[in-house]
A and B are shown apart, each in its own frame.
Chain A
Amino acid sequence: MQQLLNHPAVQAGFAPFLVALIAAELFQRVKLSGLAIIAGFAVTVYLASNFNFDPLTASRKIVLLGLISAVLGLVLTQIRLHLFSLLLPALGGAAAVWVVIRILQQHPLQTALLWGAGCAAYVATLIWSMNRMENDPVRSSTAATALGMGTGGAALVGASALLGQFGLSLGSAAAAPFLILMASNRTIPTGLAFTLPLALIAGLTGCVAVLSANMPWYVLPILAVIPVSAMVIPLPKQSMRIQIMLLTLLTFAIASGAVYATWRIAGDVPF
């Protein structure tokens, strides 16, 4: 059993998907299916690296902030604080700088400012665009699955299995409500408890993969197009399944582009 749980595909694929599926079904009645994303991510963290926060490295900060953002998303789903919700992209940008601060400190000021600002802008964009889709589970779950898979795939190719697992677990966990939508042809509530941790964890994982591994910086704007395009693309008013299929084609094509762009620079996976 332990050998099975040590397998990276189980840790970042099967386990988070299964746990997210159970969580999405379980919390559907209380309209908190969005918690599926953090439940799936937490399982991967537990299996792959455990909840150890000392020393507080960038990847551990991602885990910590992911958990905090899930609680925040849950609170904001229950209590509507519209003005505070508008601040979330800015808070996410600040969180991005905090996560990578130790890496930035190793570089000249100009480089550090450029990278810090780039990371902050990327995370803020993801949070803004994903949160805009909080009440549209078709768009948000499709974009989340593609964003997770794209981030994870690119991070994995860019020479970090741990960051790759973080991203892939988001994709696997987001695939659970996505699958429920496809199978049942009915909407399930996701909300900020889904979009906020997803956008924050995916954004921070992408930033750290660029700064500490071989993921090229221009993969981040490619990944940022996933939620933005899912948000703006007009969808035919036909069945939900057709909408999902169209969105899947679009977002996964972009995610594949991000992985390909990384592979062009980093080459084959070394492990």
Chain B
Amino acid sequence: MHKSALAVLAVSLALPLSALAADSYTIDPAHTYPNFTINHLGFSTMHGRFDKTSGKVTLDRAAKTGSVEIAIETGSVSTGFEKRNDHLKSPDFFNAAEFPTITFKSTAFHFKGNTPSSVDGNLTISGVTKPVTLTIDAFTCGAHPMNKKEMCGADASAQIKRSDFGIKYGLPAIGDDVKLQFEIEALKN
């Protein structure tokens, strides 16, 4: 009886401790921008980005696990030219009216030492979900120099083919290969 009571106590103490071991963060939309580059007619590489992103990250560096969920507002696509933005929002490309968000949900974190090196996950664009691996090119955690809040930041990248997501307008003149570049900052909850 005495032993089992101790066991219950140990388990009940251990559960919240393990839950606490994973730090949770909320993405800072003012410092998180998914960017993309695509070849234009074989002449140049065009750049664009999405202006509105939200999401959550959890990270357990001791257990080398984590999770990330990112939602990108399709209608916030910006290339510096309003008419092209409108075209990118149309059914020819992102179909923002029908699919207002692009999502990325992680399935596995990979670490090199104590630092995350890549994230496997499912990227959903225009209702099509495909597995994508985000390579983490830079990763830093620490205190914000001004407000002293704990935060993490990362640069991540991935390469996709837009045709895999059913976006086939202008192929092959407008490139099929799209490089995604994420700049992410997240504040600890």
Residues of B within 8 A of A (CB): 81, 83-84, 86-87, 89-92, 95-98, 100, 126-128, 166, 168-170, 172-173
Contact partners of B81 in chain A: CB under 8 A: 270
Instruction: Check A270–B92 contact: CB distance below 8 A.
Output: no
Interface string of A39-79 (1 = CB under 8 A from B): 00000000001001001011100000000000000000000
Task: Decide if A221 is an interface residue (CB 8 Å cutoff).
Answer: no
Distance (whole angstroms) from the CB of A108 to the closest CB of chain B: 14
Task: Decide if A119 is an interface residue (CB 8 Å cutoff).
Answer: no
Docked pose: A85 CA to B126 CA in angstroms: 36
Q: Which of B86, B166, B170 contacts A213 (CB 8 A)?
A: B86
One of A20-28, A159-167, A175-183, A234-242 at the interface: A159-167
Instruction: Check A162–B83 contact: CB distance below 8 A.
Output: no
Can you list 9 pairs linking A and B with CB atoms under 8 Å apart? A49-B168, A55-B126, A55-B128, A58-B98, A163-B90, A212-B97, A212-B98, A270-B81, A271-B87
Contact partners of A106 in chain B: CB under 8 A: 97-98, 100
Q: Which of A52, A55, A161, A267 contacts B169 (CB 8 A)?
A: A161
Instruction: Check B95–A212 contact: CB distance below 8 A.
Output: yes
Additional 17 contacts, C-beta under 8 A, given A52-B166, A161-B87 = A49-B168, A55-B128, A57-B91, A102-B98, A106-B100, A159-B83, A159-B90, A159-B92, A163-B91, A212-B98, A268-B83, A270-B81, A270-B83, A270-B84, A270-B86, A270-B87, A271-B87
Task: Decide if A208 is an interface residue (CB 8 Å cutoff).
Answer: yes
Distance (whole angstroms) from the CB of A151 to the closest CB of chain B: 15
Contact partners of A59 in chain B: CB under 8 A: 91
Docked pose: A212 CA to B166 CA in angstroms: 17
Docked pose: A59 CA to B95 CA in angstroms: 10
Instruction: Check A57–B95 contact: CB distance below 8 A.
Output: yes
Query: How many residue pairs at the A-B interface have CB separations less than 8 Å?
Result: 62
Instruction: Check B127–A57 contact: CB distance below 8 A.
Output: yes
Q: Helix, strand, loop or mixed for chain A's interface? A: loop
Q: Which of B86, B127, B168, B173 contacts A159 (CB 8 A)?
A: B86
Distance (whole angstroms) from the CB of A84 to the closest CB of chain B: 31
Instruction: Check B127–A55 contact: CB distance below 8 A.
Output: yes
Instruction: Check A160–B166 contact: CB distance below 8 A.
Output: no
Instruction: Check B127–A160 contact: CB distance below 8 A.
Output: no
Tell me the residues in window 244-271 of chain A with beta carbons closer than 8 Å to chain B beta carbons.
266-268, 270-271
Instruction: Check B86–A214 contact: CB distance below 8 A.
Output: yes
- Residue from the set B86, B89, B96, B127 with the largest chain A CB neighbour count within 10 Å: B86
Docked pose: A6 CA to B172 CA in angstroms: 9
Task: Decide if A91 is an interface residue (CB 8 Å cutoff).
Answer: no
Distance (whole angstroms) from the CB of A125 to the closest CB of chain B: 23
Instruction: Check A212–B87 contact: CB distance below 8 A.
Output: no
Instruction: Check B98–A160 contact: CB distance below 8 A.
Output: no
Task: Decide if A211 is an interface residue (CB 8 Å cutoff).
Answer: yes
Task: Decide if A222 is an interface residue (CB 8 Å cutoff).
Answer: no
Contact partners of A52 in chain B: CB under 8 A: 166
Tell me the residues in window 99-113 of chain A with beta carbons closer than 8 Å to chain B beta carbons.
102-103, 106
Given contacts A57-B126, A106-B97, whether A208 and B91 have CB atoms under 8 Å apart is yes
